[in-house]
A and B are shown apart, each in its own frame.
Chain A
Amino acid sequence: MTPLRIELRRGPGLWTLPVLVGVGVFMSRAQLDTDTVWSYATGAVTSAPMLMAPLAVGTAAWAGGRSQRRGARHAWLLAGRNPAQAPLVEAGVLVACAGVAYALVAAVTLLPTATVATWGGPLWWWLISAGVGFAATVSVAYGVGVLLPGRFTPFIVALLTYLAATWNLGQYGTWFALFPFTIELILPFSTPHTPTMQGQLLWFTGLGLLALALVAVKVHSPARVVIPAIGASLALAASGAAIVIGENGRYVDVNRHIVWSCSGNSPQVCIHPAFATSLTPISQRAQAISQRLASTPFAISRVEQRPRGVGGQPTPGAIAYALDTPTTDHYDRASLDIAIAALGVDSCGHGPQRDRTAHAMAQILVAWAVADEKLFLPRDPGHQQAKVSFFNLPLTSQHQWLTDHADAVRTCSLTPQSFT
């Protein structure tokens, strides 16, 4: 208790704790657009060590080198107990403070989510593996401080940690997953691939313990203690790395157990349960679009929220929209998704069929469908004339026009003359 009490009072662990928490909360909040989705909130927490780590490892490396700089290593070597106990107390306090800081960041970040989320819960394996990775890095940094107690070691360790974390952002796969600091977004449509995270847990734990075991070697701890410690930590690290490598660092699986929240019949609007609070505003927008497209070949029967990009295909007969955040501007974007998908003009904006004029003409229809003519910005007077002509038609004439030009709409072959 004596060294623990002294280290808590005088060591750098507790002093850096508020700073770590402040930096971590800043980082996690900066990563978070909405509190409503557990996977987003969890991802924000796991990204916090990106910014916390340089400070934490610099402090740990400083504390590790302190004994050598202050001559206390003599006292450790002449200890009447296992000489590793002294540095282990120091490292333990630092690791514990880092862990507490991470836990506080998690609590501050996840608490609002707990009050507003409508589906799911924290992704515990992800939270724990990232937290253990952070703590293990502190342990490794302390070990570096003990083994290489230079004046500039803390700065170098902090800088290298930051650079490595930044570099790792551009990586993916196995090596990405073996590094403790990441910024990763797991959509609510996916579920974490827990074997990778369990492997990370073992790998990080092994690395952290190995660093402490090497510290024990450095201070001449008895071989009967050191050898089993090194063996156990190597076994943990190797088995964890093997699992992560075996899983190719895969982070997510498709979540096949989602029960969609739906409302209405014409069209039926379905949304991921994590966004259940957004069902009403999305339904209102979908209804408005549906009413405009009713009695045309573009009538909508069902819309579904889907993730952007890969995996975004809706069920047959339905159209997809994406929603990242339950805010008004994202609802408006979702409206555009619905209108574009309903009209089938998605390919007009890109791909081999891209034609600026055809794209502009498609935009006229999308702007009309979402009832926001400001969305269309005419490039020339012909485009403007086309828009005015179409917008000024009575609704029944607009429906008729859409029926007559359905093929041209779908094949992106509209021209300004199509509207006159």
Chain B
Amino acid sequence: MGDPIMGHGLTQQYGKRSVFRGLDVVVPAGVTVLLGPNGAGKTTLLHTIVGLKRPEAGSLHVLGRDVLRRGGLRAVAARIGFLPQVVSHYPGYTVRESVSYAAWLKGVPERDISLKVDRALRVMSLSGRAESRMGSLSGGLLRRAGVAQALVHEPDLVILDEPAAGLDPEQRIELRRVLRKVAGSATVLVSTHVVDDARHVADTIILLNEGAVVYTGTVAGLEDLAQPGVDGDSDLERGYLTALRQPVVPA
């Protein structure tokens, strides 16, 4: 059994614009934070992993299955929880209904849905807003509801695209706590462009720039890359910027 996500030689493009070419990426167990500036290809990589965008070339194994083969993704879909960058929701649904619907979609048995929904809402501190309409939620609450949708079926692999966007500091701290808790039983892959978020939760950092992985390693390893004279408020930020300035070598 290899790592939860193993991609080799992945190529992805929109029209004639190449997002990444020949990308190798391995996501180990624990919490992995996918860092990178806007346009680095983070969201495209996540969409590739969850099967929303099929790569032009390469191989991809998720939770031990070749998801590019017929039926491969279908076999593991129930074990994946995904939060897209824009939370999908029907405004007329209540938070409870949205999370219940997500649970049903993921194949949670009817008799367990209520219990699991209550648990997910509690974890995301949404129990008090369970009967609020999704359309009435603020951006931060909507994001938390989205995370609850991604976690409700207790997946083995949780992939969250910018989960902290729109959250206030208190909520960000709470989200980190949740991610660490989830990581006890699942592999977590989180994309963000906020470097500081990575410091507190990441077991592994993957730094993506211009469609290439420019760093894979621990938080401490990225901090070690920091060079004097590089801007930044912390060693991690300086290490991040140092890594970004390295020339990107095409695969």
Q: Which residues of A are at the interface with B, using a C-beta cutoff of 8 A?
A: 1-3, 6, 9-10, 66, 70-81, 86, 222
**Nearest residue, chain B, Cβ from A68:** B88
Q: How far is the CB of B150 from chain A (nearest CB, A)?
A: 10
Give the residues from 72 to 109 in chain B that come closer than 8 angstroms, CB to CB, to chain A: 73-74, 77-80, 82, 84, 86-93, 97, 100-108
CA distance A351 to B48 in the complex (A): 79
Q: Which residues of B are at the interface with A, using a C-beta cutoff of 8 A?
A: 50-52, 71, 73-74, 77-80, 82, 84, 86-93, 97, 100-108, 110, 113, 149, 153
How many A-B residue pairs have C-beta atoms within 8 angstroms? Tell me: 72
CA distance A325 to B50 in the complex (A): 67
Question: Given known contacts A78-B80, A81-B106, what 19 new A-B pairs fall within 8 Å (CB)?
Answer: A2-B101, A6-B97, A6-B100, A10-B90, A70-B89, A70-B90, A71-B88, A74-B52, A75-B88, A75-B105, A75-B149, A78-B50, A78-B82, A79-B106, A79-B107, A80-B105, A80-B108, A81-B78, A86-B105
Is the Cβ of B74 less than 8 Å from the Cβ of A222?
yes
- A75 contact set on B, CB distance < 8 A: 88, 102, 105, 149
- A81 contact set on B, CB distance < 8 A: 78, 105-107
CA distance A367 to B100 in the complex (A): 77
**Nearest residue, chain A, Cβ from B153:** A80
CA distance A222 to B72 in the complex (A): 11
Is the Cβ of A80 less than 8 Å from the Cβ of B101?
no
Secondary structure of the A contact surface, majority rule: helix
CA distance A78 to B106 in the complex (A): 8
Cβ contacts A to B, 14 pairs, < 8 Å? A2-B113, A3-B104, A10-B93, A71-B84, A71-B86, A71-B88, A74-B52, A74-B84, A74-B88, A75-B88, A78-B51, A78-B52, A79-B77, A80-B108
**Nearest residue, chain B, Cβ from A78:** B77
CA distance A80 to B106 in the complex (A): 4
- B113 contact set on A, CB distance < 8 A: 2
CA distance A9 to B93 in the complex (A): 9
- B77 contact set on A, CB distance < 8 A: 78-80
- A9 contact set on B, CB distance < 8 A: 97
CA distance A80 to B104 in the complex (A): 8
- A73 contact set on B, CB distance < 8 A: 88
Q: How far is the CB of A88 from chain B (nearest CB, A)?
A: 13
Of listed A1, A2, A9, A78, residue having the most chain B CB within 10 A: A78
Is the Cβ of B87 less than 8 Å from the Cβ of A3?
no
CA distance A333 to B52 in the complex (A): 71
- A77 contact set on B, CB distance < 8 A: 51-52
Is the Cβ of B52 less than 8 Å from the Cβ of A79?
no
Is the Cβ of A10 less than 8 Å from the Cβ of B92?
yes
Of listed B80, B91, B104, residue having the most chain A CB within 10 A: B104
Is the Cβ of A2 less than 8 Å from the Cβ of B74?
no
- B90 contact set on A, CB distance < 8 A: 10, 66, 70, 72
Q: How far is the CB of B49 from chain A (nearest CB, A)?
A: 11
**Nearest residue, chain A, Cβ from B97:** A6
CA distance A76 to B104 in the complex (A): 11
- A70 contact set on B, CB distance < 8 A: 88-91
A3 touches which of B71, B92, B101 (Cβ 8 Å): B101
- B79 contact set on A, CB distance < 8 A: 80
Q: A2-B113, A10-B90 are in contact. Are A74 and B82 (CB under 8 A)?
A: yes
Q: How far is the CB of B197 from chain A (nearest CB, A)?
A: 23
The 3 tightest CB contacts between A and B, nearest first, are: A80-B78, A80-B107, A71-B88
CA distance A222 to B90 in the complex (A): 26
CA distance A72 to B93 in the complex (A): 12
Q: How far is the CB of B108 from chain A (nearest CB, A)?
A: 8
**Nearest residue, chain B, Cβ from A80:** B78
CA distance A280 to B179 in the complex (A): 87
**Nearest residue, chain B, Cβ from A3:** B104
- A66 contact set on B, CB distance < 8 A: 90
Q: How far is the CB of A224 from chain B (nearest CB, A)?
A: 10
B100 touches which of A2, A74, A76, A80 (Cβ 8 Å): A2
Is the Cβ of B97 less than 8 Å from the Cβ of A10?
yes
- B102 contact set on A, CB distance < 8 A: 75
CA distance A2 to B116 in the complex (A): 13
CA distance A66 to B84 in the complex (A): 17
- B74 contact set on A, CB distance < 8 A: 222
Of listed B73, B91, B103, B105, residue having the most chain A CB within 10 A: B105
Of listed A9, A66, A77, A80, residue having the most chain B CB within 10 A: A80
CA distance A66 to B82 in the complex (A): 20
- A72 contact set on B, CB distance < 8 A: 88-90
Q: A71-B84, A78-B82, A80-B77 are in contact. Are A2 and B103 (CB under 8 A)?
A: yes
Is the Cβ of B101 less than 8 Å from the Cβ of A6?
yes
- B107 contact set on A, CB distance < 8 A: 79-81
- B73 contact set on A, CB distance < 8 A: 78
Q: How far is the CB of B143 from chain A (nearest CB, A)?
A: 13
**Nearest residue, chain A, Cβ from B91:** A70
- A222 contact set on B, CB distance < 8 A: 71, 74
Q: A72-B88, A72-B90 are in contact. Are A79 and B97 (CB under 8 A)?
A: no
Q: How far is the CB of B176 from chain A (nearest CB, A)?
A: 25
Is the Cβ of A2 less than 8 Å from the Cβ of B104?
yes
CA distance A81 to B106 in the complex (A): 6
Q: How far is the CB of A225 from chain B (nearest CB, A)?
A: 11
Q: How far is the CB of B125 from chain A (nearest CB, A)?
A: 22
CA distance A75 to B106 in the complex (A): 9
Q: How far is the CB of B53 from chain A (nearest CB, A)?
A: 11
Of listed B74, B80, B91, B153, residue having the most chain A CB within 10 A: B74
Q: How far is the CB of A97 from chain B (nearest CB, A)?
A: 16
Is the Cβ of A2 less than 8 Å from the Cβ of B82?
no
**Nearest residue, chain A, Cβ from B88:** A71
Q: How far is the CB of B166 from chain A (nearest CB, A)?
A: 16
Is the Cβ of B110 less than 8 Å from the Cβ of A1?
yes
CA distance A373 to B112 in the complex (A): 84
Q: A2-B100, A222-B71 are in contact. Are A79 and B93 (CB under 8 A)?
A: no
**Nearest residue, chain B, Cβ from A10:** B92
CA distance A75 to B98 in the complex (A): 11
**Nearest residue, chain B, Cβ from A72:** B88
CA distance A72 to B102 in the complex (A): 10
